[in-house]
Structure 1
């Protein structure tokens, strides 16, 4: 959502890359909207009617990431009481979105690299190759070239993932989008609460536009929701913003 030059450039890039199967790396700070870019690419692609499977690599313990991505066979490790389908297999004919790929262990990175090279997976504890047809979109808030220098990310995997790089700017670098984002969030949040859409006064929008958004789009959405719940009944004022948004 937005009409800033930065966002329009991203929209143009999405239009060009969506119809292809090119691997994409989305970079940008936390909360900047990397997940929305991935969803937009998938929904505009030839795979839109097939699954988009999201994996937050930072949220899965390193000892479980391989089972999560590739699945496992019963008895392959303690607690593996039945066969499990991994995320890559679940995304077959669709798209897998590897969020925070920079947090993945080197062991898991090696196995993801093999998937990208051979288009097949092996379940943990299984010896059989399973052919898959999956588009890979990855995202990170880290400087992966820096991680490569530190020995924390594989250079060969980086080059496989970064066929197309989409750089999502911080909200502070695209402030012109803030009024449209406020309107978008206000509409969605009000509808989900079953209430009339709350308007924001010009002075409230001006004040929100001038604030420092270190948490980016995610932080703005949280603030809009807070103002809708706690602010004046008819219209959100600059007084409400001063009271509840800072």
Structure 2
């Protein structure tokens, strides 16, 4: 359920983050335990400086095979082995990683997203569940080439109480995409009535770890520098929080593509 301004423009949805946090507080006394099993680094370093981030990958229902992450097992394995030292603060980071497919059970969705420090998934409505995350959390949204609609970022921008960080990575290499079920079936509703760019939006994707880990390291650096205030200051300075992974495997900033970010 979304709480909107009444406008027909989906971008004009006010206080969605506050609404999600209100719903969390309503359910909090009866929330189940987190359904996520996290695997990875659980030990802290001897100097006590290691911060272990809980990273939750979001999957989509396979009933309609669109926008799937095709190399999920590889990403989980690499995430569980991830270690990073922020050069500015010497804070060490490691990760515990899990996977979740949101469904119709709202309390379970809330419990799953509340357990995570970082949520990673393909662009789509299910990513709005990240608004249930605790303060300091991050939503890393994955886009495909030719499709750019940062509506979740816009909703967070319109809520003055929001403390959820929005980051994104756009995979710019068409070779990493595979046709989704809608495209294979030449779905008339999706691709004859709707813009052809939605073929790219709905394609299945191999997500390159090299690109994703770069965004994860950027988030870690912000956390080491103070979390939300540091993220907010970064944005105020005009520093981007969205990145493209080019055909040559290069990471590039996407400031012009994302309305000045």
Tell me which protein shows more helix as a share of its residues.
Answer: 1
Higher-Rg structure is 1
Task: Name the TM-score, length of structure 1 as normaliser.
Answer: 0.28
Task: Name the TM-score, length of structure 2 as normaliser.
Answer: 0.27
Tell me which protein shows more strand as a share of its residues.
Answer: 2
Where relative contact order (Cα < 8 A, 6+ residues apart) is larger, the structure is 1
